[in-house]
Every structure is written in C-alpha cells, then in structure tokens.
Amino acid sequence: MNKQIIRNELTGDEYTYIRHDSGLDILVWEMEGYSTTEALFGTKYGSVNTRFKTAGDSDFTVVPEGIAHFLEHKLFENEDCDAFELYAKTGASANAYTSFDKTCYLFSCSDNYRESLEILLGFVQEPYFTQETVDKEQGIIAQEIKMGNDNPGNRVFYNMLKCLYHSHPVKTDIAGTVESIKKIDADLLYKCYDTFYNLNNMVLVVAGNVKTDEVLEIADRKLRKCEDKGLQTVFPDEPDSIVTDRITEKMSVGIPLFSIGFKSEPKTGYEALKTELEAFVALSVIADPASPLYSSMMDEGLINTSFATEVFSGEGYFTSVFGGESADPEAVFGRIKEEISRICREGMDRSLYENIKKYTYGSSVRELSNPESVASLMINSYFADVSPFDSLKVLSEMTYDDVMNFIRTRLDSEKAVLSVVEG
C-alpha cells in the first residue's frame, strides 16, 4: 500500500492519497470541527464510453447508448434488498448519478459514517442482474427518457450539441434513447460492469468528519483485489467544424429558450483545467451581471435573470455556452458575437477582469470549507487527472493576456451555433 500526504502550500489544506492493494485509489480529507461526512465511490464510466476494449480483447466492443446510466440504476438492487433500505438504518442520505464521463455513488451523513461506508463499498461491488429485472427497468428508463424529451431545457441543450458535434457521443442524451436501451440485456450489463467497475478504474473519496485509519480499516475488509485489465476507451474522429449553425424546435413554452455554443479544441489534464478556468473568467467578463452587455440586454428586455454562461468540457469536447430565455434569441446571438468582436479589438475592461478573477479565486478557497464541495472537487479532479489544488494554482498565475487569448482563439463566430425552442 502506497500512502502519502498531499498538501496545498497556498492554503495549508491537505488530504491523504492511498494506493490500496486492491487496485483502488482512495482520497481522504479529514476536516476537523465538521459534523458531516461526504463519500463518493466512482468509476470513470459515463455515457460517452460506448466503445472500449481490454488487454484480453481482440477488438473493440461497441455498446448501446445509455448503458452506463442503466447500470447505475440497476446496481442499487441486489438479490435480497435495495441499498436505500440499508442506508435508511444508518440515517445517511444516499444517491447516485451518471454524467457524460463518470458514474458516482454517494452518501452524506452526520452519524454512523463507518456503517454507511460499508454499505457503499458492499453494494457497488455486488452486481445482480436478471433478464426479468432488466426488462422491468427498460420500461422505467424509457419513461424517464420520454420525460426528458418533453423538457424544453433538455431539448434546447441537446439540440445545441447536435449542431456542434458530428460524431462524438456527447451529443446523445446521458440516458440514451428509447430504441438504444431496448438492446440492453443482463449479459451486456455484466460485461460493462466487469470492464468499468474494476477497482483500477475507480476511486473512493471521503471528506469531513472522518479518520483516514478508520476508512482504511473498512477498505481492507470490504475491497476485493482486482487485476488491472488494461482498459482502453476511444471516440470517433471529430472534425473541428460545426454541423450547422442554427436549429429551432417547436414546443409548448411561454418565452423562447436558447442555447448558444462556441466549439473549440478539447484539451486534457492540467491544460484542460487551465483552459476551463480561462473560459469561465472570459465568459463572465463578456456576460456576467456586472458586464455592459448583460446590463444593456436586460435594459432592452432582450434577456431576463435566467441568462447564464457555462463551460462544458470533457474528453474530446469543449464548448463555451450562453443560455437563457428571450423573445428574440437571434438578437441575443448577434449581440454576443458583436461584444466578442469588440473585446478582440479593444480589449477587456481590466477592472472587471480583476474583480471576476479575485471573486473566482475566493469562491474556490471557500469551497474548501464545505465537505460536500471538497468531496466533489476531489473526485472531479481525480478523473480529470489533476490535483484538487490545481485550480488555485491556475487562478493565481492567470493573466489578462491569457484570457484575451482565449477570447480571440476560442470564441470563433464561425464555430458558433444557436439552438432555440419556441412556442
């Protein structure tokens, strides 16, 4: 077992990293004086991972869209009971989620964290699938997919992704489609489980009112040693260009919804984090409530308080997003592109840039005082192949020119799309 303390010299915070003999990496952040404990047990397996192979496979396996999400649903049930029934006895609040690039099982509690951790490490390692239960779940998830398709916010976002991405699976709903989940059976679920729920592809993070030695004692008892299978995941080649610059869908909405996306080159590791934070600051300078663009569009009634920005990035994709409600989305699209052009010519407001950078840094420091935020930061950083402390390093070293370079090179109007859902 390899065990080391990782310390942040900027803030004095630290956590313990353990490479467990089972093959699992464990991160524990003891937070003295806190009453709650947050734990996440995650696998680097999300909706985009539909093509994979292991060292023992002769060729890549291609699986139906939505299977990672389907597997997450099924894992809470075993032959005897439901994991939620076990958590009810410890008083923990439990949940799970599947994103584009990961699946995580989690709990939060103020008492009995050791018992809850045993439950977490137990049921995630004990899959139980039968064709009968799979058939039943198909009906449940099909209804979930249909509800998502009836949600205007979902539609406007995924329509934007379909305009941006030719072949990357990120353009498909995390839950898949009604047609794709019909192809899922128990054998396929076991294959995906055995491939992606190998402990060498997973991580356990625990933060808050917790002791590292107690976590390790439970891990020693509950974890089953796994051989590294040499997992590889691949994605189809994705062109730099967009598919189309506009899409409109009719739904029952009072005010039209819009999502505006700027496609740019994806990065990995530390470079991805650096680019994401530059994007966050850049989008805030352009469209934060303190920006001239936001104020003028609000005054003219072009936008309302739903207007917001987002950095949407992961393995093989990177999009800068503006979204909200507007009676005239086309006008908003034009104004955003005009403001980007103006900033490219004249530069950013330095005072606004400095204020946003300071606020972002301060927010990142404050998150280190919240066990839930700390646990999320640890697992997200781990799967992104960066340190939880790298965000503070990037922000402390970020310059005005870095953000200007982002705006000039990554907010290209030729790679911008407008998705609208209107009544």
Structure tokens at 128: 């139980």
DSSP 349-363: -HHHHHHHHHHHHHH
CB atoms inside a 10 Å sphere around CB 126: 13
User: Are the CB atoms for 117 and 214 separated by under 8 Å?
Assistant: no
* DSSP bridge pairs for 95: 106
Query: Which stretch of DSSP H or E encloses residue 25?
Result: strand 25-30
* Secondary-structure percent of the chain, ordered helix, strand, coil, rounded to 5: 45, 20, 35
Separation between Cα atoms, residue 422 and residue 387, nearest integer Å = 42
Separation between Cα atoms, residue 127 and residue 71, nearest integer Å = 9
Q: Give the sign of the dihedral formed by CA 195, CA 198, CA 201, CA 205.
A: positive
CB atoms inside a 10 Å sphere around CB 128: 14
CA-based radius of gyration for the chain: 23
Separation between Cα atoms, residue 384 and residue 381, nearest integer Å = 5
> What DSSP state is assigned to residue 182?
T
Helices in 91-182 by DSSP H: which ranges?
113-123, 131-149, 152-164, 178-181
Separation between Cα atoms, residue 397 and residue 389, nearest integer Å = 13
User: Are the CB atoms for 264 and 276 separated by under 8 Å?
Assistant: no
* DSSP bridge pairs for 249: 421
Separation between Cα atoms, residue 184 and residue 187, nearest integer Å = 8
Phi, psi of 274 (to 5 degrees): -60, -45
* Sheet with 37-43, side-by-side order of all strands: 2-7, 14-19, 25-30, 202-208, 37-43, 103-109, 93-98
Maximum C-alpha span of the chain? 66
Helices in 165-304 by DSSP H: which ranges?
178-181, 186-196, 212-222, 269-287, 292-299
Please identify which of the residues 9, 14, 65, 72 carries the catalytic annotation: 72
**315 catalytically annotated:** no
Show which residues are catalytic: 72
